[in-house]
Amino acid sequence: MAFVEPVTLRGHGLRLEPLALTHEAGLAAAAADGALWRIRVTSVPEPQETRAYIETALQMREAGSRLAFAVLDDASGRMLGSSSYHDILPAVRRVEIGYTWYARSVQRTHVNTAAKLLLMGHAFDTLGCHVVGWRTDNFNHASQRAIERLGARKDGVIRGHALRRDGTIRDTVMYSMRSGEWPEARAQLLYLLELRAQAR
């Protein structure tokens, strides 16, 4: 039995289900909401690359290094985006959360907070992770702010770490949260979701 098994997570109006080829059209539509593939510091697939994007995620799942999720509105079934567990290290009970992107129309809403709450809860409470990590492009300041809002702590920067789609080399900002920090982070995220619900 693998450390991270495919699972569907539900809560706060969302459904996170393992990404599959059946999600191709919905994923392409979510990416088209804001033409997200044009953003230099993300890895959102262009419409014609959506199937290959899913196939790569499935290959990584088979290898045990990634479990990609489709993020959907639970009531309507509308595809909102995607997020993943990746760099899965069973020996030290660590996963990272990444490959995250959402349709432009649901950015700056409750969606990211709710999805991360589900993913972090499963990682810490069900999988028994000691650490959950995140990484992002040094120029993706919106992503850095979003990660910091989750309660993660900045570990440092890996310089000259990875290629961007335009061929330039990026520095990668690393974050993490330890299991002992999770209860307070969870309480804060639930509080933020409650405030957003009251404002709607």
Tell me which DSSP letter residue 123 carries: I
What is residue 31's predicted lDDT score, i.e. its pLDDT? 87
Give the pair of three-digit tokens for residue 20. Answer: 């599959």
Q: Residue 148: CA atoms inside 13 Å, Cβ hemisphere, count? A: 9
d(CA 191, CA 193): 5
pTM score: 0.93
CA torsion, ordered 75, 76, 82, 88, to nearest 10 deg: 40
| pLDDT score, position 34 | 63
DSSP 126: I
CA distances in angstroms from 123 to 6, 151, 172, listed in the order given: 12, 15, 23
Distances in whole angstroms, Cα of residue 94 to Cα of each of 49, 97, 154, 161, 176: 30, 10, 16, 20, 10
pLDDT tens-place values along the chain, 200 residues long: 679 999 999 999 999 999 999 999 999 999 887 656 655 556 778 888 899 999 999 999 999 999 999 999 999 999 999 999 999 999 999 999 999 999 989 988 899 999 999 999 999 999 999 999 999 999 989 889 999 999 999 999 999 998 888 889 999 999 999 999 999 999 999 999 998 887 76
Q: Give the model's pLDDT for residue 196.
A: 81
> What pLDDT shows up at residue 98?
94
pLDDT of residue 1: 66
Going by C-alpha positions, the residue among 49, 113, 126 that lies closest to residue 80 is 113
Q: Map tokens 């997020």 to a residue.
A: 83
